[in-house]
A = this chain, B = another copy of it.
Amino acid sequence: MKHPPRLAELIEALRALPGVGPKSAQRMAFHLLQDGRSGAQTLAHTLEAALASVRRCERCRMFAEQELCAVCASPQRESSLLCVVESPADVVAIEQSGSFRGRYFVLMGHLSPLDGIGPEQLGVRALEAILDEGLVRELILATNPTVEGEATAHFLADLALRRGLTASRIAHGVPIGGEIEYVDGGTLARALAGRQSV
């Protein structure tokens, strides 16, 4: 059955959302046009507004509405600690843990030469500029524990070490609250290799 053209376009456009296939795009479109019309109007407006005013922090590349994001603008953050992450969602997760008082740098990806993503695309020049200011003492590498994330961490550790700074990698191991029985082999291997004396 062919949908009316505007409806078909809406279903197609909803597939731009991550994790939304044709079936859930249709379900979303029907909901928006049926019971959710006021929510749909709000969504269209807020989306336009966000596209117009949300940009990147000029220092750390996190989402921001001003020149600097809240973290970079805050004088209470320790400028000696810089935590490098792959995505804005990682910043949110670390902030929610409440366990870090330094600043961030968001790569917006990881090194992936096959996809044409090199240091340039990850803003490594901006990162080097921050390191060259001389305030940062430790570069904390919190990229994902994947092949690309590890490669990116190695590459960035080099930048720090060449400047005589400390470079550290966040610990990988058995998650708190997890049961060892159900933890995968790769994680267990890392947990054993990274064991610390008590």
Residues of A whose CB lies within 8 Å of any CB of B are 1-7, 9-10, 12-14, 16-19, 24, 26-34, 36-37, 39-51, 53-54, 63-66, 69-71, 87-89, 91-92, 95-96, 108
Q: Determine the distance from Cα of A64 to Cα of B87 in the docked complex, in whole angstroms.
A: 41
Residues of chain B within 8 A (CB-CB) of A63 are: 3-4, 7, 30, 33
Residues of chain B within 8 A (CB-CB) of A71 are: 1
- Asked whether, in the complex, the Cβ of A53 is within 8 Å of the Cβ of B6, the reply is yes
Residues of chain B within 8 A (CB-CB) of A4 are: 54, 63-66, 69-70
- Asked whether, in the complex, the Cβ of B17 is within 8 Å of the Cβ of A31, the reply is yes
Residues of chain B within 8 A (CB-CB) of A88 are: 30, 34
Given contacts A5-B65, A64-B4, contact A33 B51 (CB under 8 A): yes
When C-beta atoms are compared, the residue in chain B nearest to A53 turns out to be: B6
**Which of B6, B44, B89 contacts A27, CB < 8 Å?**
B89
**Which of B28, B49, B64, B91 contacts A9, CB < 8 Å?**
B49
A66 to chain B, nearest CB (A): 8
**Which of B5, B46, B91, B95 contacts A13, CB < 8 Å?**
B46
- Asked whether, in the complex, the Cβ of B30 is within 8 Å of the Cβ of A65, the reply is no
When C-beta atoms are compared, the residue in chain B nearest to A49 turns out to be: B6
